Structure 1
Amino acid sequence: MSSSTLPLTPTTTNPVVGAGENAETYWPWATPTPGPAPADPDTQLGFDPGEVATARRRVRSGQFPEWLDHVSAAAACTRPIRLSGQIDVRNRDGQHMHTIDTNSMPDGVIYTPCGNRRASVCPSCAEVYRRDTFQIIRAGLEGNRYGLPPLGQHIAIFLTATAPSFGPVHHRVVKTHAADCKSRERCTCRASICRPFGNTCPHGAEIRCTARHKTTDPALGTAFCLDCYDYAGHVTWNHDAPELWRRTVQEVDRELERLGKRLGVDLRRRHVKVYEFQARGVIHYHAIFRLDGYNPDCPSAIVPADRIVTRAMFASVLEDAFDKTSYTSAPHPANGDNGWHIGWGSKGLDLKHINVPGGDANLTKLTGYLAKYVTKGTEVTGASFRRFDDLAVELHADPATHVGRMIRACWDLGQADGWERLRRYAHQYGHGGHITTKSRGFSVTFAFKRMERVIWRRTQGFPHLWDDQEADLVVYRLGYEATGWITTGDALLANSAADAARRRAHALDLADLDQAATAHPLAA
Structure 2
Amino acid sequence: MSVSTLPLVPETPKVSGTGASAETWPWSVTRPVDPRAGYVHGHSPATVATAFARGSDPDYPDWLRHVQGVGECRRPIRLSGQIHVNNPAGERMATFDTADMPDGVIYTPCGNRRASVCPSCSEVYRRDTYHLIKAGLTGDRWGIPPLHDHIAIFLTATAPSFGPVHRRVVDVHAADCRNKDGCTCRASVCHPFGRACPHGLEQRCRERHSAADSRIGQPLCLDCYDYNAHAVWHHEAPELWRRTMIRFDRNLDRLGRTHGVELRRKYAKVYEFQHRGAIHYHAVIRLDGRNPDCPDAIVAPPPVITRAMFETAIRDAFATTTHTSAPHPANPEGWPITWGAKGLDVKHVNAPGGPTIDLNHLAGYIAKYVTKSTEATGRIFTRLDELTIDLHATPDTHLGRLIRACWTLGETEGWHRLRRYAHQYGYGGHITTKSRGFSVTYGFQRAQRAIWRRTQGHPETWDDQQAELVITELGYHATGWITTGDALLARTAAAQARTYHQAGLDALTDEATNPATPAPPHAA
Q: Same fold (TM over 0.5)?
A: yes
State whether structure 2 residue 214 is matched by structure 1 residue 218: yes
1:49 matched residue in structure 2: 45
State whether structure 2 residue 322 is matched by structure 1 residue 326: yes
1:344 matched residue in structure 2: 339
Q: CA RMSD in A?
A: 1.9
2:104 matched residue in structure 1: 108
Q: Specify whether residues 226 and 186 from structure 1 end up closer, same or farther in structure 2 by C-alpha distance, changes over 3 A only.
A: same
CA distance in 1, matches of 2:191, 2:386: 37
State whether structure 2 residue 370 is matched by structure 1 residue 374: yes
1:389 matched residue in structure 2: 385
SS at match of 2:140: coil
Residues 11-70 of structure 1: CA deviation (Å, up to 9, x unaligned): xxxxxxxxxxxxxxxxxxxxxxxxxxxxx9994521111211110110111111110111
Q: CA offset at residue 475 of structure 1? A: 2.0
CA distance in 2, matches of 1:393, 1:518: 62
Residues 282-322 of structure 1: CA deviation (Å, up to 9, x unaligned): 11101011011111121111110110010111111101111
Could you tell which deviates more after superposition, 472-481 or 194-203? 472-481
CA distance in 2, matches of 1:425, 1:515: 53
Q: Is the 8 A contact 1:89 1:472 kept in 2?
A: no
Q: Is the 8 A contact 2:81 2:474 kept in 1?
A: yes
2:60 matched residue in structure 1: 64
- Aligned residue type for 1:340: W
- Aligned residue type for 1:124: S
State whether structure 2 residue 417 is matched by structure 1 residue 426: no
CA distance in 2, matches of 1:96, 1:318: 57
CA distance in 1, matches of 2:325, 2:477: 43
- Aligned residue type for 1:313: M
Q: Is the 8 A contact 1:91 1:471 kept in 2?
A: no
2:520 matched residue in structure 1: none
Larger relative contact order (Cα-Cα within 8 Å, sequence gap ≥ 6): 2
- Aligned residue type for 2:342: K
1:182 is matched with which residue: 178, 183, 198? Answer: 178
SS at match of 1:352: strand
Could you tell which deviates more after superposition, 318-327 or 457-466? 457-466
1:205 is matched with which residue: 201, 207, 231? Answer: 201
SS at match of 1:481: strand
CA distance in 2, matches of 1:257, 1:388: 45
2:18 matched residue in structure 1: none
Q: Specify whether residues 93 and 193 from structure 1 end up closer, same or farther in structure 2 by C-alpha distance, changes over 3 A only.
A: farther
Q: Please give the residue correspondences for 1:92-241 in structure 2 after superposition, counting only pairs within 5 Å.
A: 92-241=88-237
In the superposition, the TM-score normalised over structure 2's length comes to 0.89
CA distance in 1, matches of 2:201, 2:508: 61
Structure 2: which 5+ residue stretches go unaligned? 1-35, 518-524
Q: Specify whether residues 94 and 170 from structure 1 end up closer, same or farther in structure 2 by C-alpha distance, changes over 3 A only.
A: farther
1:503 is matched with which residue: 494, 499, 502? Answer: 499
CA distance in 2, matches of 1:99, 1:470: 16
2:359 is matched with which residue: 360, 363, 367? Answer: 363
CA distance in 2, matches of 1:95, 1:269: 49
Q: Is the 8 A contact 1:143 1:149 kept in 2?
A: yes
CA distance in 2, matches of 1:113, 1:68: 15
Q: Is the 8 A contact 1:248 1:321 kept in 2?
A: yes
SS at match of 2:244: helix
State whether structure 2 residue 470 is matched by structure 1 residue 464: no
2:348 matched residue in structure 1: 353
1:516 matched residue in structure 2: 512
Q: Work out which of the two has the higher radius of gyration on C-alpha atoms and give 1 or 2.
A: 1
CA distance in 2, matches of 1:350, 1:179: 20
State whether structure 2 residue 244 is matched by structure 1 residue 245: no
- Aligned residue type for 1:348: G
1:29 matched residue in structure 2: none
2:474 matched residue in structure 1: 478
Q: Specify whether residues 519 and 244 from structure 1 end up closer, same or farther in structure 2 by C-alpha distance, changes over 3 A only.
A: farther
Could you tell which deviates more after superposition, 420-429 or 178-187? 178-187
Q: CA offset at residue 365 of structure 1? A: 0.7
1:33 matched residue in structure 2: none
Q: CA offset at residue 324 of structure 1? A: 1.4
Q: CA offset at residue 416 of structure 1? A: 0.8
Could you tell which deviates more after superposition, 226-235 or 354-363? 354-363
Q: Is the 8 A contact 1:143 1:150 kept in 2?
A: yes
Q: CA offset at residue 356 of structure 1? A: 2.0
SS at match of 1:179: coil
SS at match of 2:80: strand
1:302 matched residue in structure 2: 298
Q: Is the 8 A contact 1:329 1:340 kept in 2?
A: yes
CA distance in 1, matches of 2:409, 2:38: 52
State whether structure 2 residue 405 is matched by structure 1 residue 409: yes
Q: Is the 8 A contact 1:113 1:125 kept in 2?
A: yes
State whether structure 2 residue 281 is matched by structure 1 residue 273: no
SS at match of 2:287: strand
CA distance in 1, matches of 2:476, 2:464: 29
Sequence identity percentage:
62
Q: CA offset at residue 508 of structure 1? A: 2.2
Q: CA offset at residue 208 of structure 1? A: 1.7
SS at match of 1:314: helix
- Aligned residue type for 1:214: S
Q: Specify whether residues 181 and 92 from structure 1 end up closer, same or farther in structure 2 by C-alpha distance, changes over 3 A only.
A: farther
Residues 425-483 of structure 1: CA deviation (Å, up to 9, x unaligned): 00000000000100111000000011011101110122222132444532221111111
CA distance in 1, matches of 2:102, 2:274: 45
CA distance in 1, matches of 2:506, 2:394: 50
Could you tell which deviates more after superposition, 191-200 or 410-419? 191-200
Q: CA offset at residue 73 of structure 1? A: 1.5
Q: Specify whether residues 211 and 510 from structure 1 end up closer, same or farther in structure 2 by C-alpha distance, changes over 3 A only.
A: farther
SS at match of 1:448: helix
CA distance in 2, matches of 1:98, 1:53: 38
SS at match of 1:374: helix
Q: Is the 8 A contact 1:352 1:360 kept in 2?
A: no
Q: CA offset at residue 92 of structure 1? A: 4.6
SS at match of 1:120: coil
State whether structure 2 residue 462 is matched by structure 1 residue 450: no
CA distance in 1, matches of 2:274, 2:430: 16
Structure 1: which 5+ residue stretches go unaligned? 1-39
SS at match of 1:412: helix
CA distance in 2, matches of 1:125, 1:417: 36
Q: Specify whether residues 426 and 190 from structure 1 end up closer, same or farther in structure 2 by C-alpha distance, changes over 3 A only.
A: same
Q: Is the 8 A contact 2:40 2:48 kept in 1?
A: no
In the superposition, the TM-score normalised over structure 1's length comes to 0.89
